[in-house]
Amino acid sequence: MLKQRVITALVLMAFLLPALLAPLAWPFALLSLLMIAAAGWEWGRLNGATGAVPALMGAALAAACAAALWAGWGAAPPRAVWWLATLVWVVGGAFALRRGPAAWPSIPAPARRALGLLLLWAAWLALTAAKTIGVNFILSTLCLVWAADIAAYFGGKALGRSKLAPAISPGKSWEGVWSGMVGALALAAIWLWLDQAFRMDTASLYTRINARFGLVGLVSIVVLLAAMSVVGDLFESLVKRAAGAKDSSGLLPGHGGVLDRIDALLPVLPIAMALISR
């Protein structure tokens, strides 16, 4: 399993890094469009869609993303999109997690499917906008989620005692959450130093937040984003548990599906964009 995970990760990085570093926007937009379409397909399957419906949902999501690009939203999307997505994730995420997996199927299937596609669309738009700002900015945002996840894993393994949400994800602990927040704060401190020590293509997420909200604001926002990455992870786990699925799909050998890889990013990307947009 580990060998399979490593091979899949290396193949993904072989496509992702050149697209991310390309001077033109279209390679990254195309790659991320394919991935978000796959995520839309997975979302349909997890929410009871059968036959050709999941594929149509993925195609519709890709078409909506392409339409946003055509409208020029990849570079200058309306700020209302970020704040609406933030509201849905903060309020709706807390509500869904409080009610648990058993309550998720009680929501009409068309509403569940549409909600997921809208959240995926907003996250993809935020990812595209972040890439437009610059490589340093998008990497600093992505790495916040990855650092929090890695620190949470090792912190939870070493210190985990108090279960976070046993009905949704039995392996997660509060100690893991705190460790993830510490990991994200450590990354922010390192990245602030890197921004000052080296000439980057653009300011990172942390430098922008520090300039706008000060040090206390930076600490608070990094903790918030780390917490919201946990909400995204738990929300996808809730949907999978309600569907009786272990993974969102088998598209990525050793890793599960696309949703399994991007779930923590879904709330973080639009919230980060909301906080740095003026």
Write out pLDDT tens, residues 153-174.
999 999 989 999 999 999 999 9
Beta carbons of 187 and 195 less than 8 angstroms apart: no
Q: How far is CA 157 from CA 119, 179, 182, 256, 269, in A?
A: 31, 10, 15, 21, 27
- Residue 37 CA to residue 60 CA, distance in Å, equals 8
Q: Name the band, by pLDDT with cuts 50, 70 and 90, for residue 1.
A: low
pLDDT at residue number 15:
79
* Residue % of the chain over a pLDDT of 70: 98
pLDDT at residue number 73:
85
Tell which residue, 102, 111, 116, 97, has the closest CA to residue 241. Answer: 102
- Rounded mean pLDDT, 259-268: 94
Residue type present at position 221 = I
- Residue 34 CA to residue 30 CA, distance in Å, equals 6
Segments forming the whole domain that contains residue 63: 2-276
pLDDT at residue number 6:
65
In degrees and rounded to multiples of 5, residue 181 shows phi and psi of: -65, -40
Quote the number of domains for the chain. 1
Residue with more model confidence, 56 or 132: 56
Q: What is the pLDDT of residues 6-30, one digit of tens each?
A: 677 777 888 788 888 887 777 888 8
pLDDT at residue number 201:
81
pLDDT at residue number 278:
75
Q: What is the pLDDT of residues 36-61, one digit of tens each?
A: 999 999 999 999 999 999 999 999 99
- Residue 4 CA to residue 116 CA, distance in Å, equals 29
Length of the chain: 278
Residue with more model confidence, 24 or 249: 249
Q: What is the pLDDT of residues 59-95, one digit of tens each?
A: 999 999 999 988 888 777 888 999 999 999 999 999 9
If you average pLDDT over every residue of the chain, what do you get? 92
- What number of CA atoms fall less than 13 Å from residue 11's CA on the CB side? 11
With tokens 């390309």, the residue in question is: 22
* Residue % of the chain over a pLDDT of 90: 77
- Rounded mean pLDDT, 89-117: 95
What is the per-residue DSSP string for the chain?
-HHHHHHHHHHHHHHHHHHHH-SSSHHHHHHHHHHHHHHHHHHHHHTT--TTHHHHHHHHHHHHHHHHHHTTTTTS--HHHHHHHHHIIIIIHHHHHHH-GGGGGGS-HHHHHHHHHHHHHHHHHHHHHHHHH-HHHHHHHHHHHHHHHHHHHHHHHHH--SEEETTTEEEEEHHHHHHHHHHHHHHHHHHHHHHHHS--SS--HHHHHHHHHHHHHHHHHHHHHHHHHHHHHHHHHHHHHHHT-SSS-SSBTTTB-HHHHHTTHHHHHHHHHHHH--
pLDDT of 263 > 70? The answer is yes
Q: What is the pLDDT of residues 172-207, one digit of tens each?
A: 999 999 999 999 999 999 999 999 998 888 999 999
pTM exceeds 0.85, yes or no: yes
pLDDT at residue number 5:
65
